[in-house]
Amino acid sequence: MRIRHAREWGWIFLFLLVLMGCSREELGDKVAQPEASPLVKAPGDLVEKRVLLQFQAIPMIKKENPLIKKYELADLTKKKGKITFFRGSRYSRKVALTFDDGPDRQYTLQILEILKREKVPATFFVVGTMAKKNPDVLKMIDQSGDVIGNHTYSHPELTRIDVKAVNQQVDETNTIIKQIIGKEPLLFRPPYGAINKQEEQMIGQKGFKIILWSVDTRDWAHRTPQQIFDEVKKDTKPGAIILQHCAGNSGLRATVEALPHIIEYLRNEGYQFVTVDQLLMIPAYKR
């Protein structure tokens, strides 16, 4: 009896050895071949294809899909108590473009023109001093159907000032925005994304949601339009919040130049453009 068992185990062992040999050979083929084959350039391509397949597995939102809508709603409801958001639900193929530091009279106007032409809504996190300087541009943003959020009064790094000063930065900006467009924002973005727990709680208690981002184009750092586009292509996933700027320095020429290409690419990938409040299903302004 014991001998029979031993013989059976021997066969199983041999069978496993053969199997391992085969799979190693297969693996070897897949990894070694790419260099020889022009069709698969590198193992990295395989990874990219897998990611693409995952994307394709999520149905494109051409029509309303009740099942996806249900998943999205459940996902966002789960996050309802949160103050800070980096992205929306990964169950829906939606994306939010955001533009910080405006409104100015140069890049903001050019960006608005492109968004209008492409019928794409966006969210603008504006600085109080800039809104005060260019109230007509702020009005244009609002009248275009885009959403306005609070990005402090003078763009300080909040972690370096005291809570009282943070409070002032937030309130003063909301007052200016309300004077110009008649609505008070409930979306807030801290400059440089810098915020501590105490400030987060304080701003949350005022009724704000703090909006950070999942895709950073780093467009303020004098990048080329291609670099900005590549960043979006590399990092955008369903529910993404994309960070760009509409005022600051001359490097933003690249932001303007890249924008139509970004819109075209995301559209071809089946994304729907929404404002941040729509993405997170939260109110944009006080009622």
d(CA 180, CA 78): 35
Of positions 102, 128, 149, 191, contacts Zn ion by CB under 5 A: 191
DSSP string of 231-269, one letter each residue: HHHHH--TTEEEEEESSSSGGGHHHHHHHHHHHHHHHHT
Stretch that binds Zn ion, among 13-21, 185-193, 220-228, 252-260 (CB under 5 A): 185-193
CB of 141 to Zn ion, least distance (A): 16
Q: Which lies closer to Zn ion via its Cβ, residue 100 or residue 231? A: 100
Contact predicate 260/114, CB 8 Å: yes
- Give the torsion sign (CA, 219, 225, 226, 229): positive
CB of 123 to Zn ion, least distance (A): 13
SS3 state at 61: coil
Size of site (CB under 5 A) for Zn ion: 3
Q: Which lies closer to Zn ion via its Cβ, residue 124 or residue 285? A: 124
Contact predicate 58/238, CB 8 Å: yes
Residues between 90 and 119 with contacts to Zn ion, criterion CB under 5 A:
100-101
Residues between 9 and 68 with contacts to Zn ion, criterion CB under 5 A:
none
How distant, in Å, are the alpha carbons of 202, 222, 238, 273 from that of 218?
28, 8, 20, 20
CB of 198 to Zn ion, least distance (A): 21
Determine, following the binding rule CB under 5 A, whether residue 190 of this chain makes contact with Zn ion: no
Q: Which lies closer to Zn ion via its Cβ, residue 185 or residue 191? A: 191
> Which residue is at the shortest CB distance from Zn ion?
100
CB atoms near residue 172 (< 10 Å): 17
d(CA 135, CA 124): 14
d(CA 121, CA 126): 16
Annotated catalytic residue 100: yes
Q: Which lies closer to Zn ion via its Cβ, residue 88 or residue 191? A: 191
d(CA 203, CA 81): 14
Write down the catalytic residue from 5, 245, 261, 277.
Answer: 245
Q: Which lies closer to Zn ion via its Cβ, residue 68 or residue 187? A: 187
CB of 103 to Zn ion, least distance (A): 13
- Residue 135 token pair: 């109230």
CB of 29 to Zn ion, least distance (A): 50
Annotated catalytic residue 245: yes
DSSP string of 157-187, one letter each residue: -GGGS-HHHHHHHHHHHHHHHHHHHS--B-E
Write down the catalytic residue from 100, 142, 146, 277.
Answer: 100
Q: Which lies closer to Zn ion via its Cβ, residue 184 or residue 216? A: 216
CB of 165 to Zn ion, least distance (A): 17
Give the residues lining the site for Zn ion (CB under 5 A). Answer: 100-101, 191
Active site positions, annotated: 100, 245
